[in-house]
């Protein structure tokens, strides 16, 4: 847990990040957490305490679906996969993020 505050997720961005990572292909919880860490070069960390509830909530929303499978090192794991609905949601959230980022950027430039 005890990482610097920079490692914490921005409110409400975890689903977007998870959706984007699953866009690349099905994966299980542990791998998702690792990938977030690796891709963001350790800037972002998905804490287990928020990752799993978020995954379960997204499953309930129908954006992702799950299935038990076997990991590369022969462990049983629950794999999450993007659904068509999830793809749509990813597009929606990406657009929203871009517009927010652009807006914040504009404010930072102008002010």
Helix boundaries (H) for 1-111? 14-23, 29-39, 48-61, 84-110
Inter-residue contact 26 to 79 (CB < 8 Å): yes
Stretch that binds other proteins, among 4-12, 18-26, 41-49, 98-106 (CB under 8 A): 41-49
Inter-residue contact 29 to 50 (CB < 8 Å): no
Using CA atoms, how far apart are residues 97 and 15, in angstroms rounded to an integer? Answer: 12
Task: Decide: is 49 part of the binding site for other proteins (CB under 8 A).
Answer: yes
Nearer to other proteins among residue 12 and residue 62 (C-beta): 62
Nearer to other proteins among residue 20 and residue 78 (C-beta): 78
Token duo for residue 57: 């909530």
In the complex, what is the shortest distance from the CB of residue 53 to other proteins, in angstroms, rounded to a whole number? Answer: 5
Nearer to other proteins among residue 59 and residue 97 (C-beta): 59
Out of 37, 39, 69, 77, the residue judged to bind other proteins by CB under 8 A:
77
Inter-residue contact 80 to 32 (CB < 8 Å): yes
Which spans of this chain sit near other proteins (rule: CB under 8 A)? 1, 28-30, 33, 47-49, 52-53, 56-57, 59-60, 62, 71, 73, 75-78
């Amino acid at each position: 847990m005890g990482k610097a505050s920079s490692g914490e997720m921005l409110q409400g961005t975890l689903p977007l990040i998870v959706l984007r990572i699953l866009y690349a292909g099905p994966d299980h919880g542990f791998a998702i957490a690792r990938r977030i860490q690796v891709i963001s070069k350790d800037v972002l960390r998905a804490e287990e305490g928020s990752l799993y509830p978020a995954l379960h909530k997204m499953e309930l929303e129908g954006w992702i679906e799950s299935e038990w499978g076997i990991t590369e090192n022969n462990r049983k794991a629950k794999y999450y996969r993007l659904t068509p609905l999830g793809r749509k949601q990813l597009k929606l959230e990406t657009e929203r993020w871009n517009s927010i980022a652009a807006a914040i950027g504009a404010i930072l430039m102008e002010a």
